[in-house]
Amino acid sequence: MAAGFVLAVHGGAGTIPREADPARAAGYRAGLERALRAGHAILARGGGARDAVIAAVCILEDDPLFNAGRGSVLTAAGGIEMDAAVMDGRTGEAGAVAGVTGLRNPIVAARAVLEASGHVLMIGPGAEAFARARGVETAGPDYFLTPARRDQLRAAQSAGTTALDHDGAAGTVGTVGAVARDATGALAAATSTGGLTNKRPGRVGDSPLIGAGTYADTSVAVSCTGTGEAFIRAVLAHDIAARLRYAAQSLDAAVAGAIRDGLDARGGRGGVIALDRHGGAALRFNTEGMYRGIIRADGHPETAIHSES
Ligand code: ASP
């Protein structure tokens, strides 16, 4: 494959009925396209993969349709606790926040952790205070909370379950992520989420855990979405990198194998977006659908929801 820059995004995976409202589907696709174009603009002017994935994820965090930033799902206590991570495959640096609230763009806080904290993962009030001190924008509860999320929490609570965002009757979709390969061949990955509807306060998912829901090195960049507990146990994002490095598998075989052995085998559900250093892409899931998209140097965004759409 000709080396060129490329960016892929996801907006969550799950039970997305095919007969879902076409206007809603168009709204999700429009959000994915905006994110692809924002990342593309950076890569087209020679910007780095790290900047591109952050820009794409910020767009999705700002869009209340997606379960990240504004529009995050609610915990069992009716609160918002967000997780996010970014990893730069060129330098091997990573930054993440978990269980944060009141930060408009948790992925920007994750970036601040990467660039300025000397740490990799910060949680709760300490992470929030650090982010505020670094100038990360804050917002009040009214900014984050949408009526759809309240309905979704009520539905999950009356069913006595936790839910992937897009499994809810409200149909709003989940976790967001981006992977990019820039014009120099450097890779980066970013993931941001409100987690699972009706999760216990204090629960942390796979998204901010480097190697579980987010990972990048010089060979591959990976962002995951789905039932976080299964991704954590499988160390799924790193498993894909290990398959490339130690078993010399192709990207597609590595992603398919990790989903089969890591997710299917554990009863986990979800999907993965991954890019390799040659610009190859694999966007796979074991659910009914995954909101996803890809854009290459030609600037033509492609988005899809179900397997053949
Ligand atoms: N993986 C996320 C979590 O477990 C949820 C999702 O991707 O929908 O927090």
10 lies in a domain? yes
- Model pLDDT for residues 148-170, shown as the tens digit of each residue: 788 888 888 888 777 676 665 44
Question: Which atom from ligand 1 is nearest to the alpha carbon of 205?
Answer: 9
Q: Which of 75, 162, 172, 175 is catalytic?
A: 175
66 lies in a domain? yes
Question: Which atom from ligand 1 is nearest to the alpha carbon of 213?
Answer: 1
pLDDT band at 171; cut points 50, 70, 90: very low
- For residue 242, the enclosing domain spans 6-306
Ramachandran angles phi, psi of 216, nearest 5°: -150, 140
CB of 225 shorter than 6 A to ligand 1: yes
Compute the distance between CA of residue 284 and CA of residue 180 in angstroms, rounded to an integer: 16
294 lies in a domain? yes
- Model pLDDT for residues 74-95, shown as the tens digit of each residue: 999 999 999 999 999 999 999 9
175 is catalytic: yes
β-pair partners for 273: 223, 283
Instruction: Specify the pTM.
Output: 0.94
1 lies in a domain? no
Distances, alpha carbon 79 to alpha carbons 143, 188, 238, 258, in Å: 13, 30, 31, 33
Termini Cα distance of the chain: 24
- Model pLDDT for residues 101-116, shown as the tens digit of each residue: 999 999 999 999 999 9
208 lies in a domain? yes
Q: How many domains does the chain have?
A: 1
223 lies in a domain? yes
CB of 207 shorter than 6 A to ligand 1: yes
139: its two tokens: 């917002």
Distance 36 CA to ligand 1 centre (A): 21
- Model pLDDT for residues 121-146, shown as the tens digit of each residue: 999 999 999 999 999 999 998 898 87
255 lies in a domain? yes
The one-letter amino acid code at 209 reads L
The CATH number given to whatever domain includes residue 64 is 3.60.20.30
